[in-house]
Chains A and B, each alone.
Chain A
């Protein structure tokens, strides 16, 4: 799993594809594989009752479980449904791009994703950073921001900063708004300052939380940094 890449990768696509993509479905696609399942992986307490998957890793990435949401086919199915419902090719294409970026990014951890589901339930992963969703959110954060995962996220932050022009008001007016009728609709209800903030929000969220987690993990706490492949070694990582 990734902690900030899913917020940031859509802006990299935006830079390269300009008016051929729409940022809203790009972001929805990028968040979609975990949208309805992450809370059950980490667990939540509702009226004193703890709700969590018996096997969080299996539930999140496997089958049986909801691991199919990280498959390439799932992205195609949802994009096709979007095309049927909205008749918008740019929405369907952008959603698919965002979804595939998420599924392929999560190949980086020690579990990987069932990319080829339903043809195969085998997870494909390169094991660059530890998957530690089952050990709880804060330990998972400490581990992620001590291994290669946070380096991967840092690459996207740097790429976004180098591409700062896509975050300007001029780019928003000239490229973002004309590409997607959503902004015209939203513009009838909200002022441009609010629309700009919404457009920039995921970049803001991904970047600031990356900085905050790094400070939290290594200044406030003392999680050992371990940039070895599959690290950090000190966490009880899940493996395929």
Chain B
């Protein structure tokens, strides 16, 4: 009789035990596949928000701007640098940054103003897609501004309301002017939500009496280019500029995103330790109740290697069935989580280290979503089954047949 057939029949001698073992493995696998999909979704969501909304891949500032932001610390002739970078195949845009106060009715708030080159910026940042109410900036409407979600709340304004912007212009005079709220953003990150005001570059220049230069260049790479190479390219094109990748700008966040993928592996193994103990116990029982039988097999000339194989195949079959069931069950589950998702809206918005997390938590399926939990299961079951398998293989035929 073939080993597979024999192992298969052995499994069903104690059908309930096999069912419970397989069910436990399937359940653990099913849950961990969903979990892994959700974590992947969470990581890509955070990373996406950092790259698409907040920081971009690489940023360049003049001199010491990052430590001492001042309206006077500017990149000269950003246009020619942008043209060079675009010539090299990057998407890049220049932004103007400034601080001041914004007032509406009897409320006021500190604000950070961002002057946007509407057309160019759309190739770099997806913030224009994150307008919750109203519309994104339009160069034809220089008096329209788009503001952060919490700022709108603080000022108690909505689309169409009037705002007074106050700041100190580059020529030393007090800048103040009337604007209209053109749009209110969704949650994109703590800083933008609480104080961000987006203006068109033209409006910004007029308001701050700033005729040339820019404060920040944001750059996006194409495809899977290494971040450091991109930063090098900007350095060589930009001369004296202070060039930093998003990982250098947000080191804690970068390190946290990196380590989370490792940390969920720990969760897999922790859960599978319980499975391993269960399999170990079940397989030990299966071996001990058949000691006499193995003795007989040995006596009629079956090699230890074949006995070992029988036990391993029994465990392998159970794991195989569990993988089929676990993966099959997880497909509709993942379909739901990737298409419908979990609505976190009821919790009122979440942010981690200043980066907003989307209202709806979607899972993202990559090959890793499946193979990481499956591989961990196989590793743990193999470890668990090796003791009973060797135990059976090394039985002496005589003692085994006398055993009861």
Same complex for A and B? Answer no
